[in-house]
Amino acid sequence: MTIEEIQNELVEEFSMFEDWMQRYEYMIELGKTLPLIDERYKTDQNIIKGCQSKVWVHAEMKDEKVQFTADSDAIITKGIIAILIRVFSNQHPQDIVDADMGFIDEIGLKEHLSLTRANGLVSMIKQLRMYAIAYQTQIN
């Protein structure tokens, strides 16, 4: 699936819920499906700076696509990174860099997060894109 198709799927899934308590519960469920990072990658160098909670992300390139694994010590944050990894994992680096992130506003995520979590969301997107840029330079 393309990034846009996955984003559309997420918008559709979130639109099924009537209120934000249900959406938060769904995010927590998504966090439980997150491809977990191997314990050996839970290091300071894999922590995303700018997040209030601890979020570890590991990326590797397989068949010219970036694969991400992650974990967080907070359940909502784990749900947020799970959404981003679902969108970006197994995609070509350039597609990750070029991706329009408007779906975040469509599902209302940013407006329903505390300021610190919203800043963390921006930091997560930035870090995932940095991995993609690093891998893109290896391809070119």
Catalytic residues: 51
Look at the block and give the residue holding tokens 């977990």. Answer: 36
In 3D space, the residue among 89, 33, 29 whose CA is nearest the CA of residue 57 turns out to be: 89
Region label for 20, one of left (φ > 0), alpha (ψ between -120 and 50) or beta (otherwise): alpha
CB 31, CB 75: distance < 8 Å:
yes
